[in-house]
DNA sequence: ATACAATGTTTGACAATCAAAACATTAAGA
DNA sequence: TCTTAATGTTTTGATTGTCAAACATTGTAT
């Protein structure tokens, strides 16, 4: 049933339509063109293509919406995009505009398995007391000057203190962020974060 | 001087030539074609293109080698490739063949800033006592069952023990892996790991 | 209603990439 | 040297995605 392998270009169009529809209910050629920085004529061609694949509802001179199939694929692309962007921003501390732009170009080649893992990893970094925001600040230090941080023992002690404290006050052991569970292959549980926080998008 | 923006395709050809030359001194059309799984005719066309850009030494019916310029660019591509692959394998614990294949498709869109950061991050994970191999095993656990690991306090205590022990026995404070230092932009120091360990390559 | 501005489409040209098949060259053995 | 198999090249054609300009449609303001 699934049309495996949509070209990177078509994925970009689908993604753009997804975001525009989210904002304005329907997408118009003009908006898609300006969002993707492409000529209107290119958009028309792409729309014909996507319509043939039954991924969008479209007739000449009409506005565009996604079919259920199209929405499914679009969300998948968006998920890849956001997984990458969020990793770049939150972990590698890359500035958003660059992270977003690069995510938009890299997203097309990512298989589900790796996206799932990347999302889980980002979550793990948030949740694990040995990692967390402070630890990432430690990474930034490391980037600024790889030789400066030597006080590992003290760093870990403080980390341990933090955990004891949290354990004492907050009754709950550990709070997982919102996630949707679904059976992954091989019986493993894989996180599926569909759509994260908003931000500038490049598609 | 630099030919900014070589197409993804040409980067792949350059990368393939790089690896073949590394193994066999020179590259032949046949080898490149089989490595990239494209027709010989496509290779010839690509070689003409690369030769025009002075990235390879090539004449019809002759073998191929890289010019210094070509080698520089090829190494850059390889570095992106390996940064991604190593991250996938060592951090996300993706199996090598898949990691390699995906890296090969994603590598083309990565700007230097992000590659540098990714490499630094992977290094940081190796070096920081709050991370390390054991910690990544913790991540794998997390993937298998996100609800199973609750003994954070104990985990951190053990981590602390490890560090004290290492500090006691090994006189050296912390050993950085081999890396080449170079001045990054904004006065920061960025790690430049040129070539990692060998493995199967898809290009 | 009609004229006009905004929007969308068609057409044609072009560049990149690749495959297939016909053709050319090279190198090695008889 | 001549023949032939391996290797490399050319030519042709298909595909995809893009732009630019001419053309068509739509909706709105008068």
3-state per-residue secondary structure call for chain A: CCCCCCCHHHHHHHHHHHHHHHHHCCECHHHHHHHHCCCHHHHHHHHHHHHHCCCEECCCCCCEEECHHHHHHHHHHHHHHHHHHHHHHHHCCCCHHHHHHHHHHHHHHCCHHHHHHHHHHHHHHHHCCCCHHHHHHHHHHHHHCCCCCCCHHHHHHHHHHHHHHHHHHCCCCCCCCCCCEEECHHHCEEECCCCCCCCCCCC
Provide, in whole angstroms, the distance separating residue A120's CA from nucleotide C1's C1': 63
Q: Which pLDDT value is given to residue A5? A: 83
Q: pLDDT: is B200 or A166 the higher one? A: A166
Q: Which pLDDT value is given to residue A134? A: 75
Instruction: Tell me the C-alpha distance between B96 and B75, whole Å.
Output: 20
Closest CA to A129 of B146, B136, B155, B142: B155
B156 → closest Cβ in A92, A159, A188: A159
B44 CB less than 7 Å from any atom of strand D: yes
Closest protein residue to D26 (Cα–C1'): A61
For A:93-112, CB contacts with B below 8 A are 93-94, 98-99, 102, 105-106, 108-111
A102 → closest Cβ in B114, B144, B152: B114
Instruction: Tell me the C-alpha distance between B7 and A195, whole Å.
Output: 31
The Cβ of residue A185 has, within 10 Å, a number of other Cβ atoms equal to 9
Q: Which pLDDT value is given to residue B43? A: 98
Q: Which residues of A touch B142 (CB under 8 A)?
A: 120, 124, 127-128
Closest CA to A149 of B156, B171, B119, B130: B130
Measuring CA to CA, how many Å separate B65 from each of B23, B25, B69? Answer: 12, 8, 11
Q: Are B125 and B119 in contact (CB under 8 A)?
A: no
**3-class SS at B187?**
helix
Q: Which pLDDT value is given to residue B89? A: 96
Q: Are A14 and A53 in contact (CB under 8 A)?
A: no
Distance from CA of B29 to the nearest CA of A (A): 27
- In this complex, the nucleotide whose C1' atom is nearest to the CA atom of residue B39 is C19
Q: Are A53 and A1 in contact (CB under 8 A)?
A: no
Interface touch B153/A139, C-beta < 8 Å: no
* pLDDT less than 70: residues of chain A: 1-4, 138-139, 142-143, 146-155, 157, 159, 161-164, 166-203
B10 CB less than 7 Å from any atom of strand C: yes
Q: Is the dihedral of CA A137, A121, A194, A13 positive or negative?
A: positive
Q: Which pLDDT value is given to residue A182? A: 42
Q: Which nucleotides of C are covered by protein (CB under 7 A)?
A: 7-12, 16-21, 25-26
pLDDT, average across residues B110-122:
93
pTM score of the predicted model: 0.81
Q: Which pLDDT value is given to residue B114? A: 96
Q: pLDDT: is B54 or B130 the higher one? A: B54
Q: Which nucleotides of D are covered by protein (CB under 7 A)?
A: 7-12, 16-21, 25-26
**B113 confidence band (pLDDT: 50, 70, 90):** very high
- In this complex, the nucleotide whose C1' atom is nearest to the CA atom of residue B58 is D8
Interface touch A143/B163, C-beta < 8 Å: no
pLDDT, average across residues B37-49:
97
Instruction: Tell me the C-alpha distance between B132 and B125, whole Å.
Output: 6
**B64 confidence band (pLDDT: 50, 70, 90):** very high
Q: Which residues of B touch A165 (CB under 8 A)?
A: none
Instruction: Tell me the C-alpha distance between A91 and A74, whole Å.
Output: 25
Q: Which of residues 7-66 of A touch strand C (CB under 7 A)?
A: 28-30, 40-41, 43-45, 47-48, 60-63
């Amino acid at each position: 049933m699934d049309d495996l392998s949509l070209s990177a270009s078509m994925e970009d169009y689908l993604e753009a339509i997804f975001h525009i529809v989210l904002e304005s209910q329907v997408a118009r050629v003009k908006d898609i063109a300006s969002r993707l920085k492409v000529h209107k004529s290119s958009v028309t061609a792409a729309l014909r293509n996507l319509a043939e694949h039954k991924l969008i509802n479209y007739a000449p001179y009409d506005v565009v919406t996604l079919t259920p199939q199209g929405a499914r694929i679009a969300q998948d692309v968006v998920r890849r995009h956001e997984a990458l962007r969020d990793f770049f921003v939150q972990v590698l501390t890359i500035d958003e505009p660059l992270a977003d732009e690069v995510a938009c170009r890299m997203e097309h080649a990512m298989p589900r398995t790796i996206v799932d893992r990347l999302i889980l990893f980002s979550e793990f970094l948030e949740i694990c007391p040995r990692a967390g925001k402070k630890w990432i600040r430690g990474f930034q230090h490391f980037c600024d000057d790889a030789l400066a941080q030597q006080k590992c023992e003290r760093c870990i002690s403080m980390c341990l203190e933090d955990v004891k404290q949290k354990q004492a006050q907050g009754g709950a052991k550990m709070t997982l962020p919102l996630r949707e569970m679904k059976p992954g292959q091989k019986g493993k549980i894989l996180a599926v974060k569909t759509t994260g926080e908003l931000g500038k998008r490049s598609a």
